[in-house]
Amino acid sequence: MHRTSIAKLFSILCLAAASASRAYDIPATVSNDTSSALFTSSATSLDGPKIHPVNNSAFDWWYFDVVSADPTSVASVVIVFYTSTATAFPFIPPSDSVTRAQISVSFPNGTIFSAFATADGATVTADDNASSGNWHGSGFQWSSNTGTSRYTIFVDSPEIGVQGTIKFHSVAPAHYPCGPMGAGQNMEVGPRIGWANAVPDAATTVDLVVKGTKLAFTGVGYHDKNWSDQIFTSNVASWYWGHGRLGPYSIVWFDFLALNGTEYLSAYAAKDGKIIAASCESNSIRVRPIGQNATYPPVLSTGPPSGYHITLDLQNAGTLEVDVSVMEKIADSTPEYTRSVGNMSGVVVPVGAYKVESDPTVLGGKALFEQFKLTE
């Protein structure tokens, strides 16, 4: 065949593949090859794999969580489907397999359970906006149906003693660090840290049995993915991340310090299923610790704060001023990492107002959030 017709055929095949779903097999063994990472979005595969292959300095994972909507409950579940070694992401224990799933739960009384299940390889299938994944042999998988914005996680792992399902019904559109989904977006939330948020907020139902104890609740769910072709700790000094539902608003915050002191931001707010703010501009959001241990920037030797204050620019709709209080830490706290559930209260300050009105409508809600701090 002539050279140009091969090129033509190839581009036709690519076009055909672009609108269909595509399956990716990810081996359990670490690759010795150079890894390449995608940091600019295309029109498709928002939730698909972003690095290839998984070598010792590359990581890619699919993260899901849910916090109880009950104002008094600290129940939560976090499930992460990893394709990473402990060298690339040093906060997971070493293993022969790069394909592992982790579940961490907090019961309503604050008791924590966490375990890893090992897979002998994984398959991720991605279409335009959504994905499905099977961590073979681990008992962990998820599936999605983009048409109805639903994701379901299925767990059946006698090995770690967890069975059941988590059902997410998305109520807020997907986004990248700097804007709504679409081709040509920068997917770096900080230097060489990729981020795609397929489900910023979801009405979520948990129905699990954990070591013989039922854990069932409804709450505020979330799903995103992170990736890089470089070791995590070589690009991050600290970050504050979290999501929650505050009155009618679905919000996601991200405030990141790079090792050279540069601050990177990402702000997201949606209301009634529509995006109001999705930006990484320097005035889009500010997240700062408040209360006890409110040291900024946070360093290894300072304890975790009792809360955060968030200022989130809603563009024409004003500014959200939000206080987030830690109710319970839901991961074993280390100097480097804290994950918590909490309550939020906030008000919308209209455009042009100098301060909060004397009698504003106070919005409330629940949140799940984390901080990393990796330097002194």
Please check whether residue 280 is in contact with residue 177, taking contact to mean a CB–CB distance below 8 angstroms. yes
Among the listed residues 47, 188, 224, 328, the single contact to ligand NAG using CB under 6 A: 224
Span 315-334, contacts to ligand NAG by CB under 6 A: 323, 325
- C-alpha span between 103 and 92 (Å, rounded): 12
Binding mask 155-184 for ligand NAG (x = CB under 6 A): ------------------x-----------
Q: How far apart, in Å, are the Cα atoms of 61 and each of 102, 168, 213, 363?
A: 11, 18, 28, 33
213 contributes a contact to ligand NAG by CB under 6 A: yes
The encoded tokens of residue 290 equal 């408040």
Dihedral angle over CA of 352, 353, 355, 358, nearest 10? -170
Classified as helix, coil or strand, 314 is coil
Region near ligand NAG per CB under 6 A, out of 153-161, 187-195, 201-209, 352-360: 187-195
HSE-CB at 348 with a 13 A cutoff on CA atoms is 17
- C-alpha span between 236 and 192 (Å, rounded): 10
306 contributes a contact to ligand NAG by CB under 6 A: yes
Among the listed residues 64, 176, 241, 249, the single contact to ligand NAG using CB under 6 A: 241
Nearer to ligand NAG, 155 or 327 (CB): 327
HSE-CB at 34 with a 13 A cutoff on CA atoms is 1
Among the listed residues 176, 240, 254, 268, the single contact to ligand NAG using CB under 6 A: 254
226 contributes a contact to ligand NAG by CB under 6 A: yes
57 contributes a contact to ligand NAG by CB under 6 A: yes
Tell me the closest approach of the beta carbon of residue 83 to ligand NAG, in angstroms: 13
Please check whether residue 313 is in contact with residue 279, taking contact to mean a CB–CB distance below 8 angstroms. yes
CA torsion sign for 222, 181, 152, 81 is: negative
Please check whether residue 256 is in contact with residue 371, taking contact to mean a CB–CB distance below 8 angstroms. no
CA torsion sign for 332, 333, 335, 341 is: positive
Interior CA angle at 125 toward 43 and 209, to 5°?
A: 125
41 contributes a contact to ligand NAG by CB under 6 A: no
Region near ligand NAG per CB under 6 A, out of 9-17, 137-145, 221-229, 277-285: 221-229
Name residues whose C-beta falls within 8 Å of residue 16's C-beta, 6 or more positions apart in sequence.
none
Nearer to ligand NAG, 5 or 332 (CB): 332
- For ligand NAG, how many residues bind (rule: CB under 6 A)? 44
**Cβ burial, residue 224 (10 Å; 0-12/13-18/19+):** buried
292 contributes a contact to ligand NAG by CB under 6 A: yes
111 contributes a contact to ligand NAG by CB under 6 A: yes
28 contributes a contact to ligand NAG by CB under 6 A: no
Among the listed residues 4, 5, 32, 148, the single contact to ligand NAG using CB under 6 A: 32
Nearer to ligand NAG, 118 or 325 (CB): 325
Positions in the binding site for ligand NAG (CB under 6 A): 29, 31-32, 34-36, 55-58, 63, 107, 109, 111, 127-129, 146, 173, 189, 191, 193, 195, 213, 224, 226, 229, 241, 254, 258, 260-262, 292-293, 303-304, 306, 323, 325, 343-345, 370
